[in-house]
């Protein structure tokens, strides 16, 4: 698991993408495959059909605001999304993302990134390079505790390692 | 050095003399609350994978409310799994279909001021009305808590919101106006996410006059402000409520004086807002966000098909009493369905005892089981294509209560009741006196 990601497949979203758009309540009983197939369908039709392994989502303020349902993260993870960049995240959603080993980066200039821009994210250093626009943006550095969880692939593998170390 | 209430509670839970905003600390959890949706069905596989047990079953409360009662094979299976897990893991504090978790916790005496509580649900800030630091997490975080009894927090800053008014006989706000209108007004002012995952602490002469039920409505919807939690320092109203549950309102650890349960006046607050609600009118949040809230006259007359009084936000006993005060001697308009899902079975019993239920049912309201119901589109009462509902719940995200094209307006129980009578969104003040 690396905290460095490079892609030219960026999806752009606006402000206030809520958990009910990421994981619609009417499919919360269903399998993650079924639920993920409806991820963001109310905002971007065919998102789940067209998103590919390694894609990055870029959004404005409050991405993932709302419910504590971690299927909002799990659905993105299931669809192969490798990182999220936003001006801000819903607090619980942010914790859930780290817990699932999904890189979530807070970047004030997220809205400078355009659909399809070739970007690279270095979460350890706290920088996003936008090669298409020849710009770079500072992003909030994650505390070492959270980088550790990410590095291990999420909270459960992290716990597994910690518990083995204790034995 | 002065501290906020949140810092005091976190410092105690982290076994530290003091904590500073921004630092990450590990806290011992006094109580963990889980429900049928994010609870056993998500946590069981994690516990099994790690070959781990619940750290302290006496500190866990499990409530089935999201899929209760079962409406199809899938929800029946989720509830079945929940019940089996409770037995296998010796969870004595299991409330099966007794009501909604955020109302069950205080009603059954599980919350005491000063506690550090984590809930597997985003409306966990409701507990902050009792002077607890209670916040919501996802199921993986919760699994980790159930194994270790601990979790990390980044010590938050506190925003202080002072709610003032001209204290009158009815608590200083106008008739037909309630805590729901105050919080919708705050949502419109600060926006969803406006609190940036800080703590929102409510103070002021109106707060001291509000009942626990109304305080819960405020802290509940601090989630809609994007706060990590809402907080109201404990006072005699809090202690009296707790005594009624048969519990002693002492702090889980001995405190020398009440100041341990309050913010110091000279503590650092990242912002202080004064909001005068003396002239506040009913507020309604238009689709598709709680911060899309406007004064009632801007939406008055909007045609509805359903009126819903339910969920953790808007179906406590006092919420039902508010609705009854409007519905008394009135009937639900033809072609409109008014669904009422009391927040708990104790709520239903109390509303039956004091005559509230009689008024509601005589008006033509349809009584529903206690549970999260239609609020998040999980249970009974969901909306069809293009339907419009006015609801006493907390969220009106696109498609939340059913079909993606359905629309939800949020209002107080007063406003929902008045709208049910008219068949259009209506000002409840026209029905009171």
Measured between beta carbons, which residues in chain A are less than 8 angstroms from residue B384? none
A21 vs B72, B377, B398: nearest CB: B398
The answer to whether residue B122 neighbours chain A at the CB level (below 8 Å) is yes
- Are A95 and A69 in contact by the 8 Å Cβ rule? The answer is no
CB A65 within 8 A of CB A18: yes
> For position B421, what pLDDT does the model report?
98
Instruction: Search chain B and give the residue with CA nearest A26.
Output: B377
Q: Which helix (H) or strand (E) holds B190?
A: helix B179-190
Residues B91 and B76: their CA atoms lie apart, in Å, by: 20
- The chain A residue lying nearest B404, using CA atoms, is A42
CATH of domain B283-431: 3.30.499.10
**Residue B120 touches chain A, beta carbons under 8 Å:** yes
Statement: residue A107 has pLDDT above 90? yes
* Record: fold of B5-276: Aconitase; domain 3 (3.30.499)
> What would the pLDDT profile of A34-51 be if each residue is shown by its tens digit?
999 999 998 999 999 999
Q: A20 and B24 in contact by Cβ < 8 A? A: no
What part of B 375-404 touches A (C-beta under 8 Å)?
Answer: 376-378, 382, 395, 397-400, 402, 404
Q: Which of B221, B397, B401 best tests the A interface by mutation, with the highest count of A CBs <10 A? A: B397
Strand-pairing partners, residue B133, are B116
Whether A88 sits inside 8 A of B120 (CB atoms) is no
Mean pLDDT (whole number) for B329-339: 98
Structure tokens at B401: 């209560």
Mean pLDDT of all residues belonging to chain B: 95
The answer to whether B136 contacts chain A (CB < 8 Å) is yes
Residue B1: its pLDDT value, please? 79
Q: A155 vs B67: CB contact, 8 Å cut-off?
A: no
DSSP structural state of residue B261: G
**A69 contacts B49? CB cut-off 8 A:** no
Q: Is B151 on the interface with A (CB under 8 A)?
A: no
What pLDDT does residue B258 have?
80
Amino acid B251: pLDDT: 55
Query: Mind listing the pLDDT tens digit for each residue in B280-291?
Result: 999 999 999 999
B192 reaches A (C-beta below 8 A): yes
Question: Contact A156/B42, CB-based, under 8 Å?
Answer: no
Cβ-Cβ contacts under 8 Å, A24 against chain B: 377, 399, 404
What does the pLDDT look like over B348-384, one tens digit per residue? 999 999 999 999 999 999 999 999 999 999 999 999 9
Q: How would residue A4 be classed by pLDDT, with cut points 50, 70 and 90? A: confident
pLDDT of B252 > 80? The answer is no
Phi/psi for A104 (5° steps) reads -130, 115
Contact A30 B74 (CB under 8 A): yes
Cα three-residue angle B123-B86-A73, rounded to 5 degrees: 45
- Residue in chain B lying closest to A67 (CA): B122
Do the domains B283-431 and B5-276 match in fold? yes
Q: What is the pLDDT of residue B6?
A: 98
What's residue A167's pLDDT? 75
**Which structural domain, as residue segments, surrounds residue A159?**
4-166
Q: Are A66 and B395 in contact (CB < 8 Å)?
A: yes
Domain regions of chain B by residue span: 5-276, 283-431
Query: Are A99 and B140 within 8 A, CB to CB?
Result: yes
Per-residue pLDDT band at B146 (split at 50, 70, 90): very high
Question: How high is the pLDDT of residue A70?
Answer: 97
**What confidence tier does A2 reach under pLDDT thresholds 50, 70, 90?**
low
Element (H, E) at B231: strand B229-231
Q: What is the CATH number of the domain that holds A89?
A: 3.20.19.10
Closest-CA residue of chain A to B50: A160
Q: What is the DSSP string of B306-360?
A: EEEE-HHHH-SHHHHHHHHHHHTT--PPTT-EEEE--SBHHHHHHHHHTTHHHHH
- What does the pLDDT look like over A85-98, one tens digit per residue? 999 999 999 999 99
Span B11-31, average pLDDT: 97
ipTM: 0.96
A70 and B140 within 8 Å at the Cβ level: the answer is: yes
Residue B81 predicted with pLDDT over 60: yes
| Residues of chain A with C-beta less than 8 angstroms from the C-beta of B226 | 62, 65, 90-91
B268 touches chain A (CB under 8 A): no
Average pLDDT on B246-253 reads 64
Percent of chain B with pLDDT over 90: 93
Cβ-nearest to A65 among B141, B192, B378: B192
For the cut 60, the answer to whether the pLDDT of residue A1 exceeds it is no
- Residues B289, B192 contacting (CB under 8 angstroms): yes
Nearest to A62 among B139, B226, B404 (CB): B226
Residues of chain A with Cβ-Cβ distance to B221 below 8 Å are: none
CB contact under 8 A, A163 and B399: no
Res B170: pLDDT: 55
Is the CB of B34 inside 8 Å of chain A's CB atoms?
no
Structure-token pair, residue B338: 């008014």
Tell me how far CA of residue B137 lies from CA of A40, A70, A94, B153, B276, in angstroms: 22, 9, 10, 11, 33
Alpha carbon distance B307, B388 (integer Å)? 9
**pLDDT recorded at residue A3:** 80
- Residue B114: the pLDDT is 93
Q: How many domains does chain A have?
A: 1
Q: How confident is the model at residue B249 (pLDDT cuts 50, 70, 90)?
A: low
């Amino acid at each position: 698991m690396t905290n460095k990601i490079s892609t030219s497949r960026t999806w752009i979203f606006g402000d206030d993408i809520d958990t009910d758009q990421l994981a619609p309540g009417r499919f919360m009983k269903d399998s993650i495959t079924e639920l993920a197939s409806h991820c963001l369908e109310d905002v971007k039709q065919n998102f789940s059909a067209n998103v590919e392994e390694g894609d990055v989502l870029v959004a404005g303020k409050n991405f993932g605001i709302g419910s504590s349902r971690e299927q909002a993260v799990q659905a993105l993870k299931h669809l192969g999304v490798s990182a999220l960049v936003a001006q801000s995240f819903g607090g619980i959603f942010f914790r859930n993302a780290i817990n699932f080993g999904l890189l979530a980066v807070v970047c004030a200039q997220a809205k400078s990134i355009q659909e399809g821009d070739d970007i690279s994210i270095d979460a350890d250093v706290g920088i996003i390079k936008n090669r298409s626009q020849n710009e770079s943006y500072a992003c909030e550095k994650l505390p070492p505790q959270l980088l550790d969880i990410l590095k291990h692939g999420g909270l459960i593998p992290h716990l597994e390692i910690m518990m083995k170390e204790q034995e | 050095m002065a501290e906020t209430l949140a810092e005091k509670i976190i410092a105690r839970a982290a076994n530290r003399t003091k904590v500073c905003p921004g630092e990450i600390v590990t806290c011992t959890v006094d109580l963990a609350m889980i429900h049928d949706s994010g609870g056993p069905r998500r946590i069981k596989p994690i516990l099994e994978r790690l070959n781990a047990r619940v750290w302290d079953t006496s500190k866990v409360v499990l409530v089935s409310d999201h899929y209760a009662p079962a409406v199809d094979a899938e929800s029946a299976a989720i509830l079945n799994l929940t019940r089996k897990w409770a037995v296998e893991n010796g969870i004595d504090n299991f409330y099966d279909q007794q009501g909604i978790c955020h109302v069950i916790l205080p009603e059954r005496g599980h919350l005491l001021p000063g506690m550090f509580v984590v809930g597997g649900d985003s409306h966990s800030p409701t507990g902050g009305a009792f002077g607890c630091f209670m916040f919501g997490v996802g199921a993986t975080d919760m699994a980790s808590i159930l194994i270790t009894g601990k979790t990390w927090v980044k010590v938050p800053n506190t925003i202080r919101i002072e709610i003032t008014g001209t204290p009158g006989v009815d608590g200083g706000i106008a008739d037909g106006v309630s805590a729901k209108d105050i919080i919708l007004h705050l949502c419109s002012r600060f926006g969803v996410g406006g609190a940036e995952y800080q703590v929102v602490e409510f103070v002021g002469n109106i707060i001291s006059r509000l009942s626990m039920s109304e305080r819960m409505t405020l802290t509940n919807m601090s989630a809609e402000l994007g706060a990590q939690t809402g907080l109201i320092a404990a006072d005699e109203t809090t202690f009296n409520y707790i005594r009624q549950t048969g519990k002693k309102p002492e702090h889980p650890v001995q405190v020398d004086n009440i100041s341990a349960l309050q913010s110091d006046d000279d503590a650092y607050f990242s912002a202080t807002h004064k909001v005068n609600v003396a002239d506040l009118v009913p507020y309604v949040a238009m689709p598709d966000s709680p911060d899309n809230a406007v004064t009632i006259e801007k939406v008055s007359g909007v045609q509805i098909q359903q009126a819903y009084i339910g969920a953790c936000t808007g179906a406590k006993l006092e919420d039902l009493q508010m609705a009854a005060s409007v519905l008394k001697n009135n009937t639900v308009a033809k072609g409109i369905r008014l669904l009422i899902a009391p927040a708990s079975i104790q709520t239903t019993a109390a509303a039956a005892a004091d005559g509230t239920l009689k008024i509601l049912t005589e008006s033509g309201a349809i009584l529903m089981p206690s549970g999260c119901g239609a609020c998040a589109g999980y249970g009974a009462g969901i909306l069809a294509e293009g339907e419009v509902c006015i609801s006493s719940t907390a969220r009106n995200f696109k498609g939340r209560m059913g079909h993606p094209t359905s629309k939800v307006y949020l209002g107080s129980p007063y406003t929902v009741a008045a709208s049910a009578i008219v068949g259009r969104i209506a000002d409840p003040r026209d029905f009171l006196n």
